[in-house]
Amino acid sequence: MKQYKYVLPDNEMPTHWYNIIADMKTPPPPYRHPVTLELLGPDDLAPVFPAALIAQEVSTERWIEIPDEVQDVLKMWRPAPLYRAHRWEKALDTPAKIYYKWEGVSPAGSHKPNTAVAQCYYGKQEGLEGFATETGAGQWGSALSFATNLFGLKCKVFMVAVSFQQKPYRRIMMETWGGNVVPSPSSETNAGRAILAENPESPGSLGIAISEAIEYAVTHPGYKYSLGSVVNFVLLHQTVIGLEALKQMEMAGDYPDILIGCAGGGSNAAGLIFPFMRDKLTGARPDLRAIFVESTACPSMTRGIYAYDWGDTAKTGPVAKMHTVGHDFIPAPVHAGGLRYHGMAPSICALLQQGYAEARAYHQVEVLEAAQSFAQAEGFIVAPETAHAVKAAMDEALVCKAAGESKVILFNASGHGHFDLGAYDAYHRQALTDYKLEEEQIQRALAKLPKVAE
């Protein structure tokens, strides 16, 4: 009898997070100050993040203990199941074995609460009143609203304007958990007002929303800034995904040849891939492939450059060495709002630069086509962001079919698409548009990168 699902008992949930920085021979270059461009120290981050998170951000320890209170909350839905996609394999007529880690089981419907819960725990420990944050498609804003509610904190969410319009149910979800949600750019911050003065119809971007959230946090006593991707401590918290998957792949009697995750800032992809990547970094699995998949609407890894850039449009956050298409780049209004960030996690970028990982980009029509194929075989309707990973898994499975090879593919199904059905509706009506990104647009944004002497 075929086994479709691999579930760990509650006592097998990870008790420590894995910090990949400890195993990287060449870690990512340090952050720079947003104004002086000098090296950034932990004290410079104190107005923005809780102290415990700053300590995790700069840590080189391989294993960092997950507090008991955080584990207690995570056990509401973790360990998350791992599935073998037998039906999809048959539909694709591939000899490949396809597995996926299903993160849609969380209350917010995605992987995002894995770090939101941890951040709110540390914020509560520090005595904060609340957090300010940005969100693209609403996955992160939903997760933080959920977590702040559990810990008795307030939550201010700046939601990218085009997603605010496209995804009203995510806004309602945030408000149900007590989140205060406004479209970004907004009139509530200097950063937002400046953008609106230039373009009153701005669709917004994650870079703009980050600027507003940081400004709100540092100008409201008792608040600090929270984010759901890019930085080391967020990727650290997400490694519960891959650590569980390691044990579940053992249960299945397999080990992946190919690992896949969609990447806007990189949190869910790193969460799955980094614990396995340790085997590649240490030489135990030198042939392991790791594929980070982005949107062609915001192709930082595939068409951007590896350089220092500000993390937000108003240039208030740390300057990081990363693959970027420019901090004031405004992506097309694709449905995968979580993949519309101009940069990428510095740790992922360092791995790409050093040849340990690879990147690819897809248009939104082809990813929805793959997601429909997956839904009709496996039942799960995934978010448009996740659909990018589904498309890459499908392509790799078809390569196996053409070559007659039975490789093991594992991807992270990072969230459900129940509030993204507008994208599927547009696909079904053949009204979904693939946006062509002109090279001139990227070059205009890249011309404004900071001049950092290394």
Where are the chain's structural domains? 5-11+77-109+233-446
Residue numbers of the chain with a pLDDT score lower than 50:
none
- How would you class 25 by CB atoms within 10 Å of its CB: exposed for 0-12, middle for 13-18, buried for 19 or more? exposed
> Is CATH 3.40.50.12780 correct for 5-11+77-109+233-446?
no
In this prediction, residue 396 carries a pLDDT of: 98
Closest C-alpha to 13, from 94, 87, 88, 71? 71
In angstroms, the Cα distances linking 68 to 75, 121, 124, 242, 311 are: 11, 10, 14, 20, 32
Element (H, E) at 141: helix 139-150
Q: Where are the alpha helices (DSSP H) in 253-290?
A: 267-281
pTM: 0.95
* Residues 349, 323 contacting (CB under 8 angstroms): yes
Phi, psi for 156 (deg, rounded to 5) = -110, 120
d(CA 264, CA 295): 8
In this prediction, residue 76 carries a pLDDT of: 97
In this prediction, residue 337 carries a pLDDT of: 75
Q: Parallel, antiparallel, or unpaired for β 258-262 and 408-413?
A: parallel
In this prediction, residue 453 carries a pLDDT of: 79
Q: Where are the alpha helices (DSSP H) in 265-363?
A: 267-281, 300-303, 346-353
pLDDT tens, position by position, 231-257: 999 999 999 999 999 999 999 999 999
In this prediction, residue 258 carries a pLDDT of: 98
d(CA 108, CA 104): 8
In this prediction, residue 230 carries a pLDDT of: 94
In this prediction, residue 134 carries a pLDDT of: 93
d(CA 44, CA 232): 16
pLDDT tens, position by position, 285-313: 999 999 999 999 999 999 999 999 998 88
In angstroms, the Cα distances linking 42 to 45, 53, 277, 358 are: 5, 10, 27, 31
